[in-house]
Amino acid sequence: MHHLVARGLACGIDGRTIVSGVDLDIPRGSMVALVGRNGSGKSTLIRSLIGLRPMTAGTVHIDGADLSTLSPRQRATRLAHVGQEDAPPEDLLVGEMVAMGRIPHRPPWAVTDTSDEPVVLDALAAVGMAHAVDRPCQHLSGGERRRVMLARGIAQGSDLLVLDEPTNHLDIHHQIQLMDTIRGLGATVLAAVHDLSLAAAHFDRVAVLHEGRLFAVGEPTSVLDPTTLHRVFDVDAAHLTDPVTGRAHLVLGAGAPVLADQRKAVS
Ligand SMILES: Nc1ncnc2c1ncn2[C@@H]1O[C@H](COP(=O)(O)OP(=O)(O)OP(=O)(O)O)[C@@H](O)[C@H]1O
């Protein structure tokens, strides 16, 4: 069963087409990385897929429901979005910020509800920020802010998470921890990511956007192959097999062609 299905999606900005002809199926419970060069249209596509930017053509269905028929509140209970530039307002406390993720579940105009506190604390614990619940958002570092914004998305409690560069600003420890946390949620995840090694190691499927069109979609090892990486990103690449896990690891840049040749020589 596919959680999100897009057909023939096109969208643009100020009359200029940015993304077109996108057919995308995201299986329920899977983690899909959206990769592509700067300006290829990842953020624009993501915003159209979740109804934040109007489509100029095509359809999107979430859980079988036509996105265009859903109200903002209905959308917010079906999916949580954490944008690339999302940042908490400085004068809010961390706990108050994360509690905003519960707004779609409250009656109109009901701003606070103490019954949400356990959900808020659990979401903060999931990103390793429970200790900061009473801190002002303006005291957070860039990476801490990203984690708090993700906690707001988790607190929203929907089973579809749409994330734009979730690991931006995070150190390597917190990048890996965040990926494990996201995996542990069991949700369907669509995330724009720049780190191709991260995409290969932590995601079930990779969608490559190139010049506003989906260039390839599939399992990381088949999609992130040297030919595609050369064509789309203009970089040399090779796959090495991790001797412990057996998973393929990407080697990018200088040295990659040499490694690829060595592997061919011994196989
Ligand atoms: N508000 C805007 N007004 C005009 N053009 C825009 C706007 N936002 C994005 N664009 C243009 O749309 C194109 C796609 O931008 P988008 O942000 O979707 O790319 P991206 O793949 O997410 O890039 P990055 O990897 O750099 O975040 C770019 O050419 C960009 O300049």
Averaging pLDDT over each range in 163-172, 203-212, 245-254, which range is the top one?
Answer: 203-212
CA distances in angstroms from 46 to 10, 197, 205, listed in the order given: 11, 21, 16
Please tell me the pTM assigned to this model: 0.89
CA distances in angstroms from 157 to 55, 238, 239, 256, listed in the order given: 26, 39, 37, 42
User: Is the pLDDT at 258 greater than 70, yes or no?
Assistant: no
* 15 alpha carbon – ligand 1 mean position (Å): 14
Closest-CA residue, ligand 1 atom 17, reads 43
Tell me the mean pLDDT in the region 192-216: 94
Closest-CA residue, ligand 1 atom 5, reads 13
Atom of ligand 1 nearest to the CA of 36: 21
Of 3-17, 33-47, 105-119, 132-146, which range is least confident? 105-119
> Helices 172-185 and 142-155, interaxial angle, to 10°?
0
The residue to mutate among 40, 85, 196, having the most atoms of ligand 1 within 8 angstroms of its beta carbon, is 40
What residues does ligand 1 touch, defined as CB less than 6 Å away? 13-14, 18, 36, 38-44
User: Is the pLDDT at 109 greater than 90, yes or no?
Assistant: no
Phi, psi (deg, nearest 5) at residue 49: -65, -25
Q: What is the pLDDT of residues 149-187, one digit of tens each?
A: 999 999 999 999 999 998 888 889 989 988 999 999 899
User: Is the pLDDT at 261 greater than 70, yes or no?
Assistant: no
Closest-CA residue, ligand 1 atom 4, reads 13
Atom of ligand 1 nearest to the CA of 41: 18
Q: What does the mean pLDDT of the chain come to?
A: 89
- Mapped onto helix, strand or coil, the DSSP state of residue 122 is helix
* 45 alpha carbon – ligand 1 mean position (Å): 10
pLDDT of residue 170: 85
